[in-house]
Structure 1
Amino acid sequence: MGNLPGSLKLSPGGIGPESKQVMENIKTTLEAHGHTMANVVKCTAMLADMSEWGAFNEVYKTYFAEGRYPARSAFGATALAFNARIEVECIAAK
């Protein structure tokens, strides 16, 4: 979820800022455990509105080397926690 660090408050501004924040949260968590985004092997994206896929994808792809994207699945959700627009779950391997 694109919550601001240390809080349950979402990054304001909709899908773009939430997407950036959720990816930053994932990146920060990986780095805290000695990993990088290059270690991500699979992501699952859950969107409150699948029509926002393109906006999410524009942000998502900036976090990986071009042509080296992890496996990914995505689906629409009726509702996400805290009325978020996006949730992303990633698996990393070292």
Structure 2
Amino acid sequence: MLGASELAANADLHGGGVLAVTARRDTRRRRLLISVRDAGALYCPAAAASAAGDGCELAEHGRGLDIIHALSDASGWDRIDGTGETLACARLRW
């Protein structure tokens, strides 16, 4: 659940809101594929804080992708052609 929560939190904070969350289970390979689609705004609080000269933003943000990478054996994101939306995915083992 932490992987799905982190992907959704990133989509909400950086991508202009969560549009869809899907989870598919592969019991034979003992994997779970989680994908989150967002509006594609690509807002980065750390970059905004840096531009404003406020380093406090980094104290509470910036760990989501590290958590996703630690929990998954594969992860990534891509733009959806023609919509501007973003799709982020993570493949987790159990």
Q: Give the alignment's TM-score, normalised by structure 1.
A: 0.29
Question: What TM-score does the superposition give when structure 2 sets the normalisation length?
Answer: 0.29
**Which structure has the greater CA radius of gyration?**
2
Report which structure shows greater RCO (CA 8 Å, sep ≥6): 1
More strand by share: 2
- The structure where helix makes up a greater share of residues is 1
